[in-house]
């Protein structure tokens, strides 16, 4: 009996050890209830891809010259790469320039209408600068030939102490009288400026990361969609056709019937339209329908800021355009700088309020000539 009791006690003890050994350990570190999942990846925005063309990264002094001594490559505080170029106006001096002749011409992949020169510019104390100087970018290894430039008088007032990122649009620059730069073969940079008085202490200036970028065009400015009759005039009644339009709900349509030889479309706006463009970079664009362009002899396309034709007007002859048109819809794109101006200087492109196109048929005997107009807008050249 005593043996049996001893055996039972041992068995219970062993079972207790087994149960205790089977209990699951608790590790606080496995408790993830308080952890937040990572934010979802935003797939709605395309990745930003830098397509700019590097002119010089300013990591080496090779090819650089500065006023008052040798250029220094500073390897701390740069905005890009391994370093930046520093020049110093010494105490008692007042002039600085940075000059770079590239070892090989660089194709910027840009045009005068859509390109910009970008770089970082360091100024120790802006208040000491004289409002004068230039930034010059050339394809002739010469600051005065094949050049686009920008006056420092426009740039210095925008600067702050420290690093400044300059974005200089080619359209805002001035070009040399020889036609300006060949943007497929740029090879020279020059920046020069002064302090207003001789420096009392050494003043450091720096440049970094020169490149050219193509600026995305601004959105077009709509003059009229030609979807409604309001403000439109033509020969006879204005007709909105709601089939076959190039944009929106319809287009303005009219016909020179057999026996007639004249047509015009006129649009006046109650509120002037600011094209946000200039003579050098602006275009007027619209769709024009003609059943048979060979029947059109001459005429004019006009935009004005006076509310009437022949006053503050920029215009284009229809005859040469008609020679390029096909039967059906034609995409008409007209450069501001190729327009014919009235003697008062032409249209104010910040306040266009009148449009007219008129044209004549080659003869009064002809099949009915259907014409139409749609989607009038202003856009930047590319």
Q: What is the pLDDT of residues 231-277, one digit of tens each?
A: 999 999 999 999 999 999 999 999 999 999 999 999 999 999 999 99
Structure tokens at 170: 């080619």
Q: Which residues pair with residue 253 across a beta bridge?
A: 239, 372
- Residue 356: C-alpha distances to residues 207, 244, 273, 282, 359 (Å): 51, 22, 15, 18, 10
| Residues with Cβ within 8 Å of residue 83, at least 6 apart in sequence | 58, 59, 60, 73, 74, 75, 208
17, pLDDT greater than 50: no
**Same fold flag, 53-214 and 221-380:** yes
Q: For the stretch 9-25, what's the b/e string if a residue is b when 16 or more beta carbons lie within 10 angstroms of its beta carbon?
A: eeeeeeeeeeeeeeeee
- Cβ burial of 47 (10 Å; 0-12, 13-18, 19+) is exposed
The widest CA-to-CA distance across the chain, in whole angstroms, is: 138
Decide: pTM greater than 0.75: no
Q: pLDDT for 70-100, tens place per residue?
A: 999 999 999 999 999 999 999 999 999 999 9
- Give me the residue spans of the domains in the chain: 53-214, 221-380
Phi-psi region at 293: left, alpha or beta (left = phi > 0; alpha = psi -120 to 50): alpha
d(CA 224, CA 230): 10
DSSP, collapsed to helix, strand or coil, labels residue 10 as: helix
The fold of 53-214 is Jelly Rolls (2.60.120)
Q: pLDDT for 203-222, tens place per residue?
A: 999 999 999 999 988 899 99
- Structurally, what CATH architecture does the domain formed by 221-380 represent? Sandwich (2.60)
Which of these, 135, 137, 140, lies nearest to 148 by C-alpha position?
137
């Amino acid at each position: 009996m005593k043996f049996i009791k001893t055996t039972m006690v041992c068995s219970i003890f062993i079972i207790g050890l087994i149960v205790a050994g089977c209990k699951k350990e608790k590790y606080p570190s496995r408790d993830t209830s308080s952890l937040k999942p990572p934010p979802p990846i935003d797939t709605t925005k395309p990745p930003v891809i830098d397509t700019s063309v590097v002119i010089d990264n300013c990591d080496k002094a090779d090819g650089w010259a500065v006023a008052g001594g040798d250029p220094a490559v500073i390897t701390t505080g740069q905005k890009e790469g391994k370093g930046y170029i520093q020049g110093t106006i010494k105490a008692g001096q007042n002039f600085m320039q940075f000059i770079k002749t590239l070892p090989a011409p660089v194709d910027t992949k840009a045009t005068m209408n859509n390109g910009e020169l970008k770089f970082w510019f360091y100024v120790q104390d802006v208040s000491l600068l004289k409002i004068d100087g230039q930034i010059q970018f050339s394809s002739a290894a010469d600051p005065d030939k094949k050049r686009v430039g920008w006056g420092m008088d426009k740039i210095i007032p925008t600067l702050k102490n420290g690093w400044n990122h300059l974005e200089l649009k080619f359209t805002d620059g001035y070009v040399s009288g020889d036609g300006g730069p060949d943007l497929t073969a740029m090879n020279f940079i020059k920046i020069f400026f002064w302090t207003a008085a001789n420096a009392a202490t050494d003043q450091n200036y720096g440049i970094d990361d020169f490149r050219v970028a193509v600026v995305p065009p601004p959105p077009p400015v709509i003059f009229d969609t030609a979807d409604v009759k309001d403000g439109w005039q033509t020969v006879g009644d204005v007709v909105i056709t709601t089939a076959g339009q190039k944009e929106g709900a319809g287009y303005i349509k009219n016909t020179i019937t057999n026996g007639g030889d004249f047509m015009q479309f006129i649009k006046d706006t109650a509120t002037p339209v600011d094209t946000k463009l200039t003579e050098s970079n602006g275009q007027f664009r619209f769709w024009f329908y003609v059943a048979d362009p060979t029947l059109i002899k001459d005429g004019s396309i006009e935009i004005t800021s006076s509310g009437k034709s022949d006053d503050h007007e920029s215009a284009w002859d229809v005859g040469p355009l008609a020679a390029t048109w096909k039967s059906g819809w034609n995409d008409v794109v007209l450069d501001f700088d190729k327009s014919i101006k009235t003697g008062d200087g032409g249209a104010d492109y910040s306040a266009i309020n009148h449009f007219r196109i008129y044209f004549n048929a080659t003869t009064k005997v002809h099949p009915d000539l259907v014409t139409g107009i749609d989607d009038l807008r202003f856009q930047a050249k590319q």
